[in-house]
């Protein structure tokens, strides 16, 4: 179906329409936007955590564990990692909470409520964390 495009005679007001300028501070305009942008920023800390983990692996394989431990024990590094932990947890929790949006599960024709999917995710997360903790800490 085509919309009749205006043309000819009197010209077109399409050119007269007001188009607002791009708003560079859009993320400050509502709380929802700000929270969204903050959450996006937590990805940086997730990335840092991965880099830190790779450094650890490299240190173990390369035999430079004491140097790495010294670096990790510096106050600013501890501070950075505390912030990174908080940000990563926030990212993980919100990620798991959003999962029901992407996966709609139906049992018996009824939609499984969001809290059950979220609860399942968090439980699975906790179990995996416990398992890792057990493997790492048993020695």
Partner 1 sequence: MTDSAETPVIRMEVARYRPGEDAEPVFQAYDVPLMDDWAVLDGLTHIKDRLDGSLSFRWSCRMGVCGSCGMTVNGEARLTCGTFLTEYAPGPVRIEPLKGFPVIRDLVVDIDDFLAKLSSVRPWLVREGEEPPLTAEYAQTPEQLEAYKQYSMCINCLLCYSACPVYVLDPDFLGPAAIALAQRYNLDSRDMDDRFDVLNLEDAVWGCTFVGECTKVCPKHVDPAEAIQRYKVSAALRSVLPWSRR
Partner 2 sequence: MTDMIDVLIVGGGGAGLRAAVAVAETDPALKVAVVSKVYPMRSHTVSAEGGAAAVIGLGDTLDEHCYDTISGGDWLCDQDAVEAFVAEAPRELIQLEHWGCPWSRERDGRVAVRPFGGMKKMRTWYAADKTGFHLLHTLFQTTLKYQDIIRYDEWYVTKLVVDDGRVHGVVAVEIRTGRVETIPARTVVLATGGCGRAFPFTTNAAIKTGDGMALAYREGAPLKDMEFVQYHPTGLPFTGILITEAARAEGGWLINKDGYRYLQDYDLGTPTPEPTLRSMELGPRDRLSQAFVHEQRRGRTADTPYGPVVYLDLRHLGEEKIEHRIPFVRELCRSYQNLDPVSDLIPVRPVVHYMMGGVHTDLDGATTVAGLYAAGETACVSINGANRLGSNSLPEILVFGRRAGIAAAEFARSHREAEPAAVHSQGEDERRRLARAREGGGNGGRIADLREEMQHTLEGAAGIYRSGDVLAKAADTLAGLRERAEEARVEDGSTTFNTELINLLELHAMLEVAQTIVACALNRRESRGAHQRTDHTDRDDAAYLAHSLVHRAPDGTPSVGLLPVTITRWAPGERVYGRD
* DSSP H/E element including 33: helix 31-62
Residues 96/122, Cβ–Cβ less than 8 Å: yes
The pair of structure tokens assigned to 135 is 């493997």
Residues 123/131, Cβ–Cβ less than 8 Å: no
Which positions from 29 through 48 interact with partner 1, judged by CB under 8 A? 29-30, 32-33, 36, 40
CA-CA distance, 1 to 27, in Å (whole number)? 37
Q: Does 12 bind partner 2 (CB under 8 A)?
A: yes
Q: Does 4 bind partner 2 (CB under 8 A)?
A: yes
Q: Does 23 bind partner 2 (CB under 8 A)?
A: no
Q: Does 15 bind partner 2 (CB under 8 A)?
A: no
List of residues contacting partner 1 (CB under 8 A): 1, 3, 13-14, 16-20, 22-23, 26-27, 29-30, 32-33, 36, 40, 98, 100-104, 106, 109, 111
């Amino acid at each position: 179906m085509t919309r009749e495009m205006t043309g000819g005679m009197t010209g077109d007001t399409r050119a007269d329409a007001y188009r607002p300028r791009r708003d560079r501070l859009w993320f400050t305009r509502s709380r929802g936007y700000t929270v969204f942008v903050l959450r996006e920023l937590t990805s940086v800390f997730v990335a840092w955590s991965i880099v830190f983990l790779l450094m650890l692996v490299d240190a173990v394989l390369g035999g430079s564990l004491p140097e790495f431990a010294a670096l990790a024990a510096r106050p600013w590094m501890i501070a950075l990692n505390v912030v990174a932990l908080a940000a990563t947890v926030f990212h993980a929790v919100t990620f798991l909470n959003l999962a029901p949006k992407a996966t709609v599960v139906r049992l018996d024709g009824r939609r499984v409520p969001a809290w059950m999917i979220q609860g399942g995710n968090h439980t699975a997360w906790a179990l995996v964390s416990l398992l890792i903790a057990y493997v790492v800490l048993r020695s």
